[in-house]
């Protein structure tokens, strides 16, 4: 099932690549180190087809390739290699490595419960290796079990573990602490931890893409904190580290759009899409076209996202939540948006899935239910302008004007250009609320007159 | 019960206490970085993985006299195991780690001298490699043991890495090299896990078929699990007189040498008196080939790495089996001669002289049947303290001036006892086979009573148990058959230029083979033949 799904996504991806063939930046095959590593371990498994070790390493190389290209078909290959490794050795401590790597593949495929079970098994197989706790925490986090996630992350900081001073565990610790700090509303600490993670990734000479990912993620945190200059710098660093990095281009597109440099934004998103046409990039490009008055171009991009949407809604793949939010944000297929959000609930209950559900409910005219879901989305105190915007709009629909005004103000204070389309919507809603408030007060004062 | 049956019965109880030696590398080298989930924007930015750097993970230590100039000794430490040719630029040394050769030249296994290597990251405009190396010593250390500091003196040598440097009478090479370690580690794992029985198939075994790899056309059957991988090396050539002392363990000319890696202390993590922010804590040590990985259970490895050789006898003697002697220890003819006869009778020694047809079932005996040993502690004295031993009076060609050769098979580079398993260690020495062959001829084994062979009978303390302890099967053939049958008998690196390696060794310093290329690229060597 999973394989078939991936093949269908591949077909769609190929289709999009063809559609974008006329773009100025054709997708280039990333013949790089990782290809060499894959070739090497393919050779190694041909030398000894019964050696579990090399299948594990081959699987890791495929995972890295998936990261670099965004092409999730490599996860399928990774899964096959890792399953072969485990078919050869699954009971001794040595199997811990392939087990945790397969857990990582399941996680990437949004099989969170499976990922959790396997990561726990990896930890049981080799208790001396604490790296699986990162995945255990991630899986709990995606499933909304945050206390369990924090407990798992704390295992990465156990000073009694011989691994504790290795770059690997330090990197895991900093990235997870950053994620935890961000989710619980401590943006300053999140940035500090992520800066540390970037430095460790450089010092440890991690794969170039891994360093670039760390820099990109730091850029995301800066953007969410409303610091566009540092965000831009971090995205640019990721591109210097790993040229043609699709995530770096998408980040620059976001900054350019926020600054009203629509031509630059379009340029950056096209570059990202030329590498891998992820629906998020296509939707963002459409939004920039819409914002800059190119409705026809925007419609083309939205149509592409919808194509992905139909494909993925049918095949239950990894973009459900993104599509639910996309439909809701663009007032299309609203019923389907709600269905997708609810479907996502079958696999995870994190605050962003609550947010997607809340927004879909709001757009489907169910404000009471939306308010209940939004409360769950806000429960960790996360400082995210888009969450605040959604909350503001939902509370406004519930006539909870003070709360609505508060959240909209917080959204705009945190990041005045948090979204290329909805920053203005937030401004307008806030002005309307203020006018209504003034009018109400005025009316109250008039009514109070004898 | 015949042997075949005994093997099958052992399935249920054959959960080996000891993980194979490759695992030491796997556990250290393959810890993974997982990039975290980030639920706040598009999916698919989550997920793993990149292997951690093994900058402090010592794979092997070598010590030998320069064959071109016997006044010089060469020391080599290899780190960064399983370096993949495709990732050449990413393998370096850690500026946070203190790399040390420790040399004991007096009676005790305590470092009398150390040679320290410290690395520093520098701009590529300073060094194309981005790193410098500083060598301190050889000098007497300020403190011995597992907590060390950098010597307070001017470096003996300093310069850029990834090249050969010569200063103040020493020569140093740092950089990527082909991994000279050779072992059929995949098959070793399968034997230990009861998925196979021997390194090479033995279907016509008198007591039932024994599972192993088939023989190939080139008369080999093993696959070098380390073939194609690289390591990063620190190789040092210096006058042997700089290291000489009264003699390790009281033996004239003998040195004990081991390598350590240590990480700078985090003062907040410990309360060890005397630690400062300049203190380095030892997290790995390596001496003789395979000792830790064969004899030390995985659960004890961290503890082992945190200890020092002078305590090995007290800490780890019980992990090593008794040695057979010339005296029957159980009334079944369980002597060195009895074992030699048993191995020969079972057909495990028939590759003597080389089997043209590639039908050998075992290496020739390394020790003569009349090998004269009277100590059940012979293996213990050879293996612990876990340090390489090299007699620097023995010339590179194996001739010890003024003394008779004492090597097991007449090869004077092969010693046994206080002088270790072989004299020093050269890159081309077939060290896995050396250990397998000594162990199969000398390790006391308790066979089931039903077999009626020397060693059969009730369990004996100090003996390995057949076949519950599957390490007995690992050593039975005395070779992993990486080399063609005709070369199996030669274990001491005299089969230039390869030894058992997949790349030819250099005949000049640093003696290690250049880095292995990617498969199919220029420089790829088709040895051993690919399956």
Residues B450 and B385 in one domain: yes
Give the pairing type, strands B464-465 and B445-446: parallel
Asked if the Cβ–Cβ distance from A322 to B22 is below 8 Å, we say no
In 3-state terms, what secondary structure has residue B180? coil
Ramachandran sector of residue A18 (left: φ over 0; alpha: ψ -120 to 50; beta: rest): alpha
Residues B88 and B189 in one domain: no
> Which pLDDT tens digit goes with each residue over B42-67?
333 342 233 455 888 899 999 999 98
Look up tokens 């089996």; give the residue. Answer: B321
Residues B377 and B243 in one domain: no
End-to-end CA distance of chain A: 74
DSSP state of B491: -
The domain total for chain B is 2
The pLDDT of residue A164: 61
> Which pLDDT tens digit goes with each residue over B271-306?
566 667 788 999 899 999 888 878 888 778 888 988
Residues B95 and B200 in one domain: no
Cα–Cα nearest to A215, from A187, A244, A236: A236
Instruction: For residue B85, list chain A residues with Cβ-Cβ distance below 8 A.
Output: 36, 40
CA distance to partner chain A, nearest, from residue B216 (Å): 13
Q: Which of B286, B301, B331 is the last residue of a domain?
A: B286
What confidence tier does B530 reach under pLDDT thresholds 50, 70, 90? very low
Instruction: For residue A41, list chain B residues with Cβ-Cβ distance below 8 A.
Output: 84
Residues B278 and B402 in one domain: no
The pLDDT of residue B109: 92
Mean pLDDT across chain B, nearest whole number?
A: 81
> Which pLDDT tens digit goes with each residue over A347-394?
889 999 999 999 999 999 999 999 999 999 999 999 999 999 999 999
- The parent domain of residue B190 ranges over 1-22+185-223+312-505
The pLDDT of residue B397: 58
CA distance to partner chain A, nearest, from residue B96 (Å): 10
More confident residue, B415 or A9: B415
Give B262's strand partners: B98, B282
DSSP state of B309: G
pTM metric for this prediction? 0.85
> Which pLDDT tens digit goes with each residue over B348-402?
998 755 555 557 899 999 888 998 899 999 999 999 999 999 999 887 655 444 3
Return residues 11-40 of B near A (CB < 8 Å): 19-20, 22-23, 26-27, 30-40
Residue B474 pLDDT greater than 50, yes or no:
yes
Residue B246 pLDDT greater than 50, yes or no:
yes
Residues B250 and B335 in one domain: no
Residues B381 and B339 in one domain: yes
Return residues 73-112 of B near A (CB < 8 Å): 82, 84-87, 90, 92
Residues B77 and B112 in one domain: yes
What confidence tier does B254 reach under pLDDT thresholds 50, 70, 90? very high
Q: Give the ipTM.
A: 0.84
Q: Which residue of B has its CA nearest to A206?
A: B50
The pLDDT of residue B49: 35
Residue B67 lies in a domain: yes
| Cα–Cα distance for residue pair B108/B40, rounded to 1 Å | 61
A305 touches chain B (CB under 8 A): no
Residues B396 and B264 in one domain: no
Asked if the Cβ–Cβ distance from B33 to A67 is below 8 Å, we say no
Asked if the Cβ–Cβ distance from A352 to B185 is below 8 Å, we say no
Residues B172 and B191 in one domain: no
For residue B328, which phi and psi values (nearest 5 degrees)?
Answer: -65, 120
The pLDDT of residue B326: 95
Which portions of chain A are predicted below pLDDT 50?
A: 1-31, 312-315, 450
The pLDDT of residue B34: 52
B269 touches chain A (CB under 8 A): yes
Residues B239 and B380 in one domain: no
**How much is the average pLDDT of B57-81?**
93
Residues B353 and B445 in one domain: yes
Asked if the Cβ–Cβ distance from B228 to A56 is below 8 Å, we say no
Asked if the Cβ–Cβ distance from A48 to B186 is below 8 Å, we say yes
For residue B121, which phi and psi values (nearest 5 degrees)?
Answer: -80, 135
Return residues 377-406 of B near A (CB < 8 Å): none
Peptide bond before B510: cis, by omega within 30 degrees of 0?
A: yes
| Cα–Cα distance for residue pair A77/A341, rounded to 1 Å | 29
Residue B528 lies in a domain: no
| Cα–Cα distance for residue pair B259/B58, rounded to 1 Å | 8
Q: Are A419 and A224 in contact (CB under 8 A)?
A: no
């Amino acid at each position: 099932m999973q394989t078939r799904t991936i093949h269908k996504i591949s077909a769609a991806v190929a289709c999009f690549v063809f559609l974008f063939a006329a773009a100025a930046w054709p997708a280039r095959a990333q013949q790089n180190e990782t290809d060499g590593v894959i070739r090497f371990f393919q050779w190694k498994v041909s030398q000894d087809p019964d050696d579990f070790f090399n299948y594990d390493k081959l699987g890791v190389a495929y995972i890295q390739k998936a990261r670099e290209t965004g092409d999730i078909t490599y996860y399928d290959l990774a899964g096959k290699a890792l399953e072969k490794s485990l078919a050869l050795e699954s009971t001794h401590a040595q199997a811990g490595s392939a087990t945790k790597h397969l857990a990582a593949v399941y996680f990437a495929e949004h099989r969170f419960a499976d990922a959790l079970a396997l990561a726990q098994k990896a930890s049981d197989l080799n208790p001396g290796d604490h790296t699986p706790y990162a995945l255990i925490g991630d899986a709990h986090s995606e499933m909304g079990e945050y206390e369990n996630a924090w407990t798992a992350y704390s295992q990465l900081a156990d000073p009694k573990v011989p691994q504790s001073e290795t770059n690997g565990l330090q990197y895991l610790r900093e990235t997870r602490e950053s994620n935890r700090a961000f989710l619980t509303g401590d943006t300053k600490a999140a940035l500090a931890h992520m800066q540390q993670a970037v430095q460790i990734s450089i010092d440890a000479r991690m794969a170039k893409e891994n360093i670039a990912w760390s820099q990109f993620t730091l850029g995301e945190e800066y953007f969410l904190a409303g610091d566009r200059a540092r965000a831009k710098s971090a995205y640019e660093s990721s591109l210097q580290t790993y040229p043609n990095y699709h995530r770096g281009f998408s980040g620059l597109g976001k900054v350019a759009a926020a600054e009203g440099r629509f031509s630059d934004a379009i340029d950056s998103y096209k570059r990202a899409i030329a590498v891998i046409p992820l629906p998020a990039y296509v939707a963002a490009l459409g939004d920039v076209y819409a914002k800059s008055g190119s409705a026809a171009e925007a419609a083309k991009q939205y149509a592409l996202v919808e194509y992905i949407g139909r494909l993925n809604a049918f095949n239950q793949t990894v973009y459900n939540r993104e599509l639910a939010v996309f439909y809701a944000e663009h007032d299309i297929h609203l019923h389907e948006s709600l269905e997708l959000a609810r479907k996502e609930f079958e696999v995870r209950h994190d605050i962003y899935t609550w947010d997607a559900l809340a927004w879909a409910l709001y757009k489907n005219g169910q404000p009471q239910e939306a308010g209940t879901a939004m409360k769950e989305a806000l429960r960790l105190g996360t400082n995210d302008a888009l969450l605040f915007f959604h909350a503001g709009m939902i509370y406004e629909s519930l006539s909870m004007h003070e709360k609505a005004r508060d959240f909209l103000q917080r959204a705009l204070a945190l990041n005045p250009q948090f979204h290329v389309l909805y920053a203005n919507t937030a401004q307008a809603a806030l002005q309307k609320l203020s006018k209504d408030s003034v009018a109400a007060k005025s009316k109250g004062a008039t009514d109070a007159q004898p | 019960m015949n042997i075949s049956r005994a093997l099958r019965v052992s399935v249920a109880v054959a959960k080996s206490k000891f993980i194979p030696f490759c695992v030491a590398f796997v556990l250290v080298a393959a810890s993974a970085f997982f990039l975290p989930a980030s639920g706040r924007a598009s999916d698919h930015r989550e997920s793993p993985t990149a292997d951690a750097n093994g900058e402090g993970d010592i794979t092997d230590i070598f010590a030998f006299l320069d064959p071109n100039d016997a006044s010089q000794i060469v020391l080599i430490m290899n780190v960064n195991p399983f370096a993949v040719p495709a990732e050449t630029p990413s393998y370096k040394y850690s500026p946070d780690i203190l790399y040390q050769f420790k040399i004991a030249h007096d009676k005790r296994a305590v470092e009398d001298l150390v040679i320290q290597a410290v690395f520093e990251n520098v701009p590529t405009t300073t060094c194309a490699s981005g790193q410098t190396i500083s060598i301190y010593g050889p000098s007497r250390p300020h403190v011995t043991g597992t907590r060390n500091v950098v010597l307070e003196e001017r470096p003996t040598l300093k310069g850029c890495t990834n090249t050969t440097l010569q200063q103040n009478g020493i020569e140093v090479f740092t950089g990527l090299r082909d991994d000279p370690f050779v072992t059929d580690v995949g098959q070793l794992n399968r034997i230990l896990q009861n998925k196979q029985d021997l390194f090479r198939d033995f279907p016509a075994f008198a007591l039932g078929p024994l599972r192993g790899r088939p023989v190939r056309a080139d008369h080999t059957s093993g696959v070098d699990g380390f073939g194609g991988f690289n390591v990063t090396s620190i190789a040092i050539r210096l006058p042997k007189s700089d290291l000489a002392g009264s003699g390790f363990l009281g033996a004239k000319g003998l040195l004990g040498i081991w390598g350590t890696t240590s990480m700078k202390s985090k003062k907040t993590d410990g309360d060890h008196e005397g630690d400062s922010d300049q203190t380095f804590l030892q997290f790995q040590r390596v001496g003789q080939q395979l000792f830790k990985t064969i004899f030390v259970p995985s659960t004890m490895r961290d503890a082992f790495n945190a200890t020092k050789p002078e305590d090995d006898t007290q800490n780890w003697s019980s992990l090593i089996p008794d040695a057979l002697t010339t005296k029957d220890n159980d009334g079944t003819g369980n002597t060195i001669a009895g074992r030699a006869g048993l191995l020969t009778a079972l057909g495990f020694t028939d590759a003597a002289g080389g089997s043209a047809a590639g039908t050998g079932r075992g290496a020739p005996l390394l020790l003569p049947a009349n090998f004269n040993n009277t100590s059940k502690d012979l293996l213990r004295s050879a293996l612990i303290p876990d340090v390489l031993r090299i007699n620097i009076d023995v010339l590179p060609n194996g001739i010890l001036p003024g003394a008779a050769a004492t090597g097991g098979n007449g090869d004077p580079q092969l010693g046994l006892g206080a002088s270790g398993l072989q004299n020093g260690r050269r890159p081309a020495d077939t060290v896995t086979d050396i250990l397998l062959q000594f162990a199969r001829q000398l390790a006391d084994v308790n066979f089931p009573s039903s077999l009626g062979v020397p060693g059969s009978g009730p369990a004996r303390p100090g003996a390995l148990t057949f076949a519950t302890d599957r390490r007995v099967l690992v050593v039975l053939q005395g070779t992993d058959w990486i080399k063609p049958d005709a070369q199996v008998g030669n274990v001491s690196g005299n089969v230039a230029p390869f030894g058992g390696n997949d790349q030819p060794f250099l005949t000049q310093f640093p003696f290690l083979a250049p880095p292995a290329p990617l498969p199919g690229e220029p420089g790829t060597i088709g040895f051993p033949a690919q399956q």
